[in-house]
């Protein structure tokens, strides 16, 4: 057994829904109750931000009292369940706060909703549309600085310069690989603009070379229009609030005075809707929406005008330090049970790289060139359409590279069969069981997030760790850092600790890339790392700390891919400190390659799953160790189940009989990827919703709802339970 070299930081994040998990309401909720929710200002505001179309449907119903479509009742119920039982922050449905471990007893008390703070801003699609308008205005360019496109590659053995430009088609950012012939003057311009150069200085440079001023203006404009040169107003993913950034840049540009005034008024209006449920909040949203529609700003998707993050207010937010022992016990178990995975894309790349280059150090842009380089993330016998160069297609594997044959320890198969024979609901494991399994700590990231729910039974804690994840413990938190100072401080602490693990020959560098405009809503985060690798997105840090792609070289050392910056003369570990799912095969291969490197020879996840046994049975029991729930009980339902419930008159009785057969409690949760939806199958409304979903879905996965058995450690002042998700930071000890 290896010595445990990790511990839990004193600060943690707590994610909670907007509303308490009112068990009595869910048990008795009726269609009349759902109609009354349309008079709840907090519910309606949350709905307005999430779905203005459905909000307008309910307003029409409230004003006319026309009968609602039956499906509308289901939607109301889904939204209300979301803001009562699911902790993942989204709009006003759930929010975040930061707490601290203390030596005393745990006290986590949620305050009044009118003390919560909602940080509302324009959707990134709109902000980037504003940036497009400014950048396309040739009268404004004389006030701006310009930089080379961060994807430019130029090899000494060719006169061709390659780069990626993007175009917005129906609001979607599409990337296109472009090739042009280079020239001495173009190379001189690219060299001059490395750290940013004003438009006027570039024109003066050409005039000094003997070109006419009008021709010089036209040439620089052509370079900008073709995206060889990029303005300082290019969208970014690391930095402060983008609207503030735009306002700061255009404040002193006379031609944009009216735009500045307009945007500043919007900023002030949105600043005034910071308290959920205020009577005039929706009126202010409407004012902003009306104003936006009266401008030239392209409203490609006017259903998504706003993006918001909710900061919850906890009167007390402390946990007993004694809980750390339980948490580390849970992490240790997951470490033993977690699968060892590989990344086929990286493995294939290493093999091909060695065949072609052996131990040479090769520019990354040459290695991953879409014409002559190594295809990344796809079989090499696949061909690419010229329009899709640089885009790779999905391989037959899951996101973390696990094989379908990966399984759990043989002992769990035996315990599962024991459960079926005895009719038990849970598998209890003990220290003797765990002794048979080894654990390793040297293949984990330096920090990871530990996602945990904490319950109480007989005033004693019960914890469920759903998993440890991420290349950094800051990944799940970073997008909230710009709107929550406490989260910002926690992320800063995590990143400072990560830097301490490095020697002076290695640096972490943040990957800054914008795949698509609306993704910017979750990608935008503070620039907390010293170094960045900008790729088709602007970097706001000092140019001396920006590592351009043409400065990065790839080498294979002892079966490990290493990147080196020639400028810094240091090895570089790329980091993507956010929760973006970069494994989408239609994202650019360089981006996916850099992101994969951060997980090289480390495990992305520590979690329990049933491996090859998954979906082989209907019922999978809960797995417990002392006061730690390792895995919730779950059920896999097949499409033909719907035939059992054709008799609507006896639906309640048939559901009850069916649940008894498969040991399913009345309260449970439907799981679809990251989405979860609460059900109470003793309630007629939920029963009908369940049947409606069962008719549409081929397969359903359900898991138990532990708040029906345990109390939550998080409550409000009235003593009502709140669903909770604690995000703890697992850090390697120095």
Please give the full DSSP string across 502-569, using - where no structure is assigned.
Answer: S-TTEEEEEEEE-SSGGGHHHH-B---SSEEEEESSB--S-GGGB--GGGEEEEEETTEEEEEETTTT
Q: Which residues touch 398 (CB under 8 Å, ≥6 apart)?
A: none
Distance CA 27, CA 298 (A): 46
Cβ atoms 470, 445 nearer than 8 A: yes
Domain boundaries in the chain? 1-116+319-341+413-478+605-734, 120-126+237-311, 145-231, 344-399+502-601
Which residue has tokens 């998700």?
Answer: 725
Which pair of tokens denotes residue 646? 């054709």
Q: Are 199 and 142 in contact (CB under 8 A)?
A: yes
Pairwise CA distance, residues 650 & 195, whole Å: 73
The encoded tokens of residue 700 equal 């359903």
Q: Assess contact for 245 and 239: CB atoms under 8 A.
A: yes
Under 8 Å between Cβ of 108 and 713: yes
- What is the DSSP pairing of strand 314-320 with strand 94-102? parallel
Q: What is the pTM of this model?
A: 0.93
Non-local (6+) Cβ contacts of 607 within 8 A are 334, 338, 466, 467, 468, 469
Cβ-proximal residues to 248 (8 Å cutoff; 6+ apart), any chain: none
What pLDDT shows up at residue 157? 65
Helix (H, G, I), strand (E, B) or coil at 405: coil
Specify the DSSP class assigned to residue 67: P
Contact 56, 16 (CB under 8 A): no
Angle at 538 between CA 202 and CA 386, to 5 degrees: 90
Q: Is residue 447 within 8 Å of 473, Cβ to Cβ?
A: yes
| Nearest-10 Cα torsion for 593, 597, 600, 606 | -90
Q: How far apart are CA 328 and CA 330, in angstroms?
A: 5
In terms of DSSP bridges, do strands 570-575 and 622-625 run parallel, antiparallel, or are they unpaired? unpaired
Q: Which residues of the chain have pLDDT under 70?
A: 1-2, 156-157, 171, 298-301, 378-410
The confidence score (pLDDT) of residue 379 equals 38
Alpha helices in 65-161 (DSSP H): 70-85, 124-136
DSSP state of 12: E
CA–CA distance, 673 with 329 (Å, rounded to integer):
27
Q: What angle do CA 502, 505, 507 make, to 5 degrees?
A: 55
- Check residue 396 and give its pLDDT: 37
- Give burial (CB, 10 Å; 0-12/13-18/19+) of 380: exposed
pLDDT at 371: 86
Q: Which residues contact 261 (CB under 8 A, 6 or more apart)?
A: none
Distances (CA, A) of 25 to 22, 82, 380: 5, 14, 57
Name every residue whose Cβ is closer than 8 Å to that of residue 728 and which is 6 or more positions away in sequence: 8, 9, 12, 327, 449, 450, 452
E strand spans, 44-202: 94-102, 107-110, 117-122, 145-148, 153-154, 160-169, 172-181, 197-198
Burial of 137 (0-12, 13-18, 19+ CB in 10 A): middle
Whole-number Å distance between alpha carbons of 61 and 82: 22
């Amino acid at each position: 057994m290896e010595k445990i070299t990790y511990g839990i930081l004193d600060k943690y994040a707590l994610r909670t829904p907007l509303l308490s998990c009112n068990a009595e309401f869910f048990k008795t909720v009726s269609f009349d109750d759902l109609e009354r929710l349309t008079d709840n200002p907090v519910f309606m505001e949350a709905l307005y931000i999430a779905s203005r179309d459905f909000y307008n449907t309910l307003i029409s119903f409230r004003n006319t009292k026309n009968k609602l479509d039956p499906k509308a009742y289901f939607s109301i119920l889904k939204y209300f369940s979301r803001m009562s039982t699911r902790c993942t922050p989204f709009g006003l449905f759930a929010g975040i706060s930061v707490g601290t471990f203390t030596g005393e007893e745990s006290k986590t008390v949620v305050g009044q909703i009118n003390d919560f703070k909602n940080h509302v801003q324009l959707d990134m699609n709109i902000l980037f549309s504003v940036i497009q308008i400014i950048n396309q205005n040739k009268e404004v360019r004389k006030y701006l600085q310009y930089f080379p496109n961060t994807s430019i590659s130029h090899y000494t053995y060719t006169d061709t310069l390659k780069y990626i430009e993007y175009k917005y088609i129906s609001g979607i950012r599409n990337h296109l690989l472009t090739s042009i012939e280079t020239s001495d003057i173009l190379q001189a311009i690219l060299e001059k603009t490395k750290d940013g150069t004003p438009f006027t200085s570039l024109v003066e440079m050409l005039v000094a070379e003997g070109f006419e001023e009008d021709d010089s203006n036209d040439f620089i404009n052509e370079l900008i229009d073709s995206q060889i040169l990029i303005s300082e107003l290019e969208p970014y993913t690391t930095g402060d609030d983008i609207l503030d950034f735009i306002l700061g840049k255009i404040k002193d540009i006379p031609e944009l005075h009216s735009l500045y005034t307009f945007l500043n008024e919007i900023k002030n209006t949105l600043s005034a809707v910071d308290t959920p449920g205020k009577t005039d909040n929706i009126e202010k949203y409407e004012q902003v929406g009306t104003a936006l529609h009266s401008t030239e700003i392209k409203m490609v998707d006017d259903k998504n005008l706003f993006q918001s993050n909710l900061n919850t207010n906890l009167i007390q937010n402390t946990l007993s330090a004694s809980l750390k022992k339980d948490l580390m016990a849970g992490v240790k178990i997951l470490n033993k049970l977690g699968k060892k995975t590989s990344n086929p894309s990286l493995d294939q790349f290493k093999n091909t790289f060695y065949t072609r280059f052996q131990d040479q150090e090769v520019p990354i842009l040459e290695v991953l060139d879409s014409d002559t380089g190594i295809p990344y993330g796809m079989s090499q016998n696949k061909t690419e359409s010229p329009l899709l160069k640089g885009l790779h297609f999905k391989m037959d594997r899951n996101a973390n590279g696990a094989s379908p044959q990966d399984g759990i320890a043989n002992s769990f198969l035996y315990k599962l069969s024991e459960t079926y024979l005895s009719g038990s609901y849970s598998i209890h494991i003990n220290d003797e069981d765990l002794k048979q399994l080894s654990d390793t700590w040297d293949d984990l990231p330096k920090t990871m997030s530990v996602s945990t729910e904490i319950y109480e039974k007989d005033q004693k804690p019960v914890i469920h760790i759903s998993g440890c994840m991420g290349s950094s413990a800051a990944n799940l938190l970073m997008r909230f850092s710009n709107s929550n100072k406490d989260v910002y401080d926690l992320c800063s602490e995590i990143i400072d600790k990560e830097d301490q693990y490095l020697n002076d020959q290695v640096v972490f560098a943040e990957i800054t890339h914008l795949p698509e405009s609306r993704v910017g809503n979750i990608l935008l985060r503070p620039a907390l790392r010293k170094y960045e690798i900008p790729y088709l997105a602007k970097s706001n840090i000092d140019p001396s700390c920006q590592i351009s792609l043409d400065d990065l070289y790839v080498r294979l050392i002892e079966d490990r891919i290493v990147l080196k910056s020639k400028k810094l003369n240091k090895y570089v570990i790329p980091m993507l400190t956010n929760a973006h799912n970069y494994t989408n095969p239609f994202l650019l291969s360089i981006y996916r390659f850099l992101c994969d490197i951060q997980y090289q020879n480390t495990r992305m996840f520590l979690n329990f799953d049933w491996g090859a046994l998954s979906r082989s049975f209907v019922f999978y029991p809960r797995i417990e160790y002392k006061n730690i729930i390792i895995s919730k009980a779950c059920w896999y339902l097949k499409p033909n189940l719907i035939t059992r419930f054709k008799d609507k008159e006896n639906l309640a009785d048939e559901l009850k009989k069916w649940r008894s057969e498969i040991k399913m409690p009345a309260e449970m949760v439907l799981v679809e990827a990251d989405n979860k939806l609460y059900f109470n199958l003793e309630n007629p409304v939920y029963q009908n919703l369940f049947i409606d979903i069962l008719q549409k879905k081929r397969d359903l996965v359900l898991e138990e709802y532990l708040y029906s058995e345990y109390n939550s450690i998080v409550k409000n002042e009235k003593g009502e339970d709140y669903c909770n998700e604690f995000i703890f930071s697992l850090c390697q000890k120095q």
